Amino acid sequence: MPTPAFEPVIDQHDTWLAVNPVQGCPKGCAYCYLQDLGLTRAKPTELATPAETAEQLLAHPYYHPGLVLALYTCTDALATPATRAHLTALLDILGTSAVRNPVCLITKCAVTDDVITCINRNRAAGLPVIVYLSYSGLGPDIEQGIDHPALRANFPRLHQAGIPVIHYWRPALPQNSTPEIIEDVIGWAARYSTCTVAVGTKIKPTALEQITDLWPELADPHLDPQAADSLWPRTTWDWLQALPDRFATHPVFQTNSCALAYVLGRADRAGVLNTPTCLSANRCPTGQRERCRQAAPQQRPVTEADIDAHLAKIGHPGLPHTLNSRTRTVVLGQPMHLRDRHNLAQALAVTVRSPQDPTERYWPGRLSGAQPLVIDPRP
């Protein structure tokens, strides 16, 4: 077991501001991006108390009232009684604070009654809480330690409790790409969730061997899976492209930002509108597309002063860049870590381009120019 390599308590991902006061998960999902950090099959470690977490969040240069918060992305907060207690305490602190950022909780574990009560208590206080249920039809051979019947039961329980649910359909692997599994997963989730986010499989630069063990076709020397935004078995990709009519009213997105905009009743701020992802990959309701179209020309203009000020705030004063204010695109003159690029993009609703940092440990994402890669099965 490698020595744990903890992530920052407050971090920036491509969709949201990650809040990780507890890290390490006792579960053993074979594809987990925490594996090479020594944070799977591990006792959760508290790096900050709930009160310290809220204080660090509000003081952090990344914090912005318009960003979505994702809690406990380096563990499953519902996996143990101690992590559940930490979660409910943090939600209560946020609920009584000035924070009104949308809050996402991602889980594969049973959502217990005390957590449901806490979520609804804080939603009633004005804190928007959304639960992502990560359910993709994989079995205990791959998702070791997960109670799959309890995971499925979360859907009707949360729906009955009036808590918004986003179905997180990930990862896409050969093991869950048969038509029977796909139909079972989406058929159940569509009954109770507001929408589905299907994101394929993501590979960190340090995790190719880990994923190849699960998906041997990725060892093909003619493929470059780490240059892709996401990886898809042909069966899953084709099923999504020809979504059956019975699921026509269930939105299916390949971008988390769009799913969150839909659930929150907001317009796109992530530069997805009218891109190929918007037009051909996302199965977006007509009303939501119209909301985005109407909002686009009303966005507050972004200025050079805005860019300069935010770059200075996150530790890059005077960084050379160019701004195309019409397309809201910022091109940086030198490499910058993805977490900083993502924060700049989300805080100012701009698209950020820059040279790739050779030390980067995370995937660049579709909005940075990477595209999905569809893998055909071996003959």
Strand-strand pairing, 22-23 and 17-19: unpaired
Backbone angles phi, psi at 253, to 5 degrees: -115, 150
Q: What angle do CA 325, 349, 106 make, to 5 degrees?
A: 160
Helices vs. strands in the chain: H and E counts, helices first: 12, 17
User: What's the pLDDT at 368?
Assistant: 59
User: What's the pLDDT at 206?
Assistant: 81
Which residues, at least 6 apart from 304, have a Cβ–Cβ distance to it below 8 Å? 323
User: What's the pLDDT at 364?
Assistant: 61
26, two tokens: 């006792």
CB 204 within 8 A of CB 36: yes
CB 339 within 8 A of CB 357: no
Q: Which helix (H) or strand (E) element contains residue 150?
A: helix 148-160
- Cα distance between residue 376 and residue 379, in whole Å: 9
How far is C-alpha 204 from the geometric centre of its chain's CA atoms? 14
- To the question of pTM greater than 0.85 for the whole model, the response is yes
pLDDT tens profile 304-354: 999 999 999 999 999 999 999 999 999 999 999 999 999 999 999 999 998
Of the candidates 160, 158, 101, the residue with the CA atom closest to the CA atom of residue 135: 158
How far is C-alpha 101 from the geometric centre of its chain's CA atoms? 15
User: What's the pLDDT at 359?
Assistant: 78
- Cα distance between residue 141 and residue 151, in whole Å: 16
Cis bond leading into 171, ω under 30°?
yes
